[in-house]
Chains A and B, each alone.
Chain A
Amino acid sequence: MFSTKNFNRSKPYIFLLLLFPSLLWIIQFITGNLGVNPIERIMDEFGLMALRLIILTLAITTLANIKKLKSIVLFRRMIGLFAFYYVTLHFSTYIFLDHFLDINFIIKDIVKRPFITFGFISFLCLIPLALTSTNQMIKRLGFKVWKKIHYLIYPAVILSSFHFYMLVRADKTEPMIYMGIIVLLLLQRIAKKLNLLQLNQ
């Protein structure tokens, strides 16, 4: 069931599954079915989806430590690229629909408002990850360099969770859940590192 072959076979379905919400929201937006403040709503949906997918890529790396689930990493690049796709939609909504390309306002907003600063830096961190997500790039850069670049996922995930936490006005439960998951995933990595160090001694 968890064979590489099966995983590879299911890739097109996962692709459609991840693409589907964005198409649905865009259609709902165009047909006026996203409530009375559709710009806010579609921006929130894109952003939340992006955050969830970023966390999912980290979770996949963790789960791949389980021998049986090793092949799950085959999905990681696609999910990571979809995370970038949703972040781009989220950011574009902010730039084009929310602020109508009012560049002066947007620059001020990014500089002055910590939660927007965090979101923006997180977006910048994800750009090199998306650009280097091909086998060719890994070859050209060498795995070590490539891996170093991809450490940018850590500032990206931490900043995006703060970005979400800070924009909620009173009930912080949902952002706290995401932060909790992120902390666990990071702890797992630290524990693994420490273990390796001990084995080497």
Chain B
Amino acid sequence: MKILGSEITPYSTYLNRRKFIKGTFATALATTISSNVFANHQASPDIYNKFLGENDTINSYEEITTYNNFYEFGTHKKHPSLNSGNFNPNPWSIKLEGLINNPQTIDLEKLLSKVTVEDRVYRLRCVEAWSMVIPWQGFQLSELIKIADPISSAKYIQFVTVLRPEEMPGQQKRTIIWPYREGLRMDEAMNSLTILATGLYGHKMPNQNGAPIRLVVPWKYGFKSIKSIVAIRFLNEQPETSWETLAPWEYGFYANVNPSVDHPRWSQSTERRIGEFKRRETLMFNGYEEEVAHLYKDLDMTKFY
């Protein structure tokens, strides 16, 4: 994996960083005892912090990897971290199919040698009104689309998660119709914010976060960012997606973060940032309005939620 190896600081440093910030007393003590240790902790986050919005702090590795929605491993937030130990993402390949000039099954290692993996620090806003800030490593989906070389009639892309009930206990129960499926419009997929992520905090993608490769679409609710992808299909019509199939009155195909369009069961106007006490205002397109608002200027977002 190409993750600017020299620049990445071990994730354990980040783990510690949060504790440092939180435990003011501990920080003060540490500073007096060892200014060297403290200097390390101060310097390290900068490689990610330079990508951060003004009001954001990165969530800790622990927060990101123990509070997950990944129903393939169970429906509680702690289930994915507890139940994903038997999942083996090596080796991995992805099937590219549909309306493309280069249909193929591509090995993940081979794919990674053809693309540029880089750091992307994004806000992630769940449809359940909580959010995090996550330092991903990944490459732009547009790079993979170039490899697939879609023909002009391809207007949508569908993604499919792996189906392995023996390794994914959640799939043994029919909470969702397995395998999980998601989709994007071609222009959304080509947007430079949309990435396929293969790591976080400079680590290989943990199983509970969608190993070994997952989508990240930061201006949409988290459920759009499908995990453990095995197939990518290029289609001429809007594909079926899992949550929309399950409850179309609650979850739409677009699922753009929008504080003014409420979920029928709860308000979307505020969110709880994991690690913070008070709720925050939810931002239009999760704060990525500048980059993506133009994609939807002709769309009635109360109808196409």
- Residues of A near any B CB (own CB < 8 A): 35-37, 39-40, 98-100, 105, 108-109, 112-115, 166-167, 169-171
Q: Is the interface of B mostly helix, strand, loop or mixed?
A: loop
Q: Is the CB of A113 within 8 A of B77?
A: no
User: Is there a chain A Cβ closer than 8 Å to B248's Cβ?
Assistant: no
Contact A37 B176 (CB under 8 A): no
The answer on a CB contact under 8 Å between A36 and B272 is no
The residue among A37, A99, A166, A170 with the most chain B CB atoms within 10 A of its own CB is A170
Does B116 count as interface, using CB distance less than 8 angstroms?
Answer: no
Chain A: minimal CB distance from B52 (Å): 19
| Interchain Cβ contacts under 8 Å between A and B, 17 examples | A35-B66, A35-B77, A35-B78, A36-B66, A36-B275, A37-B67, A37-B77, A37-B130, A40-B272, A99-B279, A109-B267, A112-B267, A167-B265, A169-B128, A170-B71, A170-B175, A171-B175
Judge if B75 is at the interface, Cβ distance under 8 Å: yes
Q: Is the CB of A36 within 8 A of B176?
A: no
B255 → A minimal CB distance (Å): 14
On whether the beta carbons of A39 and B272 are closer than 8 Å, the reply is: yes
The verdict on B266 contacting chain A, using a C-beta distance below 8 Å, is: yes
Q: How far is the CA of A114 from the CA of B266 in the complex (A)?
A: 9
Residues of B near A99 (CB, < 8 A) are: 279
Chain A residues with CB under 8 Å of B50's CB are: none
Complex Cα gap A109–B262 (Å): 11
Report Cα–Cα, A169/B263, bound state, in Å. Answer: 12
Choose among B67, B175, B262 the residue that contacts A35 (Cβ–Cβ < 8 A).
B67
Interface residues on B, range: 20 to 34
Tell me the bound Cα distance from A166 to B75 in angstroms: 15
B246 nearest in chain A by CB position = A170
Q: Return chain B residues, CB-CB under 8 Å to A109.
A: 266-267
Smallest Cβ-Cβ distance to B274: which chain A residue: A36
B107 within 8 A of A: no
| Chain A residues with CB below 8 A from B164, complex form | none
Closest to A38 in B: B277
Is B278 part of the binding interface, using a Cβ–Cβ cutoff of 8 Å? Answer: yes
Closest to A108 in B: B267
Q: With A and B bound together, what is the CA distance between A40 and B272 in angstroms?
A: 10
Residue of B nearest to A114 (CB): B265
A171 CA to B66 CA, complexed, in Å:
20
CB distance from B195 to the nearest CB of A (A): 24
Write the nearest CB–CB distance from B117 to chain A, whole angstroms: 27
| Cα distance, A193 to B285, chains bound together (Å) | 58
Residues of B near A36 (CB, < 8 A) are: 62-63, 66-67, 274-275
- For A171, the chain B residues whose CB sits under 8 A away are 71, 75, 173, 175
Closest CB of chain A to B245's CB: distance in Å?
A: 12
Q: What 0/1 pattern do residues 251 to 287 of B give for CB contact below 8 A with A?
A: 0000000000010011101101011011100000000
